[in-house]
Structure 1
């Protein structure tokens, strides 16, 4: 693929029943802005250099199940965000519309669900 720009990861596209609403959730969670919006698609600028998060309309959307269960919609990808204060970060995410998952596999990581049901993790920065 000689026409491809080497080493550039532009972003990740996530399906959602309400792409605009989910973009607003992540923009607020990450302190970023919505860089572009049109019917069925919204883009959150994750940082000035990228990567971007693109939220795309998905008709017939089924939220993934966490932890994964046989015969259910599996999480195909999830985000991990490093935070300095785990309890405060969880409280902030919940105030924005996230819910805390019942199953928590690790002590210094909290798994939550965004408003569309995608799991994401807040990971304590110990360094």
Structure 2
């Protein structure tokens, strides 16, 4: 399984905001330069994080992005869901009814992975 580049940039951006300046605005240009990515592309990712309630934006000459309250509780899973959504990795399209054994294995694996990612807080990673 593979997450999109957008998720990679979102995770790195959130870690940078936690480590660098949790309470200060950081401009999209600075964030983009840090990751060597287009500011336009990163803006789309940041918009998703704003909509998910993890960061807030401020427009204007001195505008930028900063973490919202309770940022210490943001997990890897929260960030991944903000970018990728919550759809299952595998939707069994073969007509087995509700008893598809392959689907059951995949759902169980996803649940275990999500449990782990939910337990990993971006703020804890920043302390390392």
Larger strand share, 1 or 2: 1
Higher relative CO (Cα under 8 Å, sequence separation at least 6) belongs to 2
TM normalised by structure 1 equals: 0.29
TM, length-normalised to structure 2: 0.29
Q: Which structure features the higher share of helix residues? A: 2
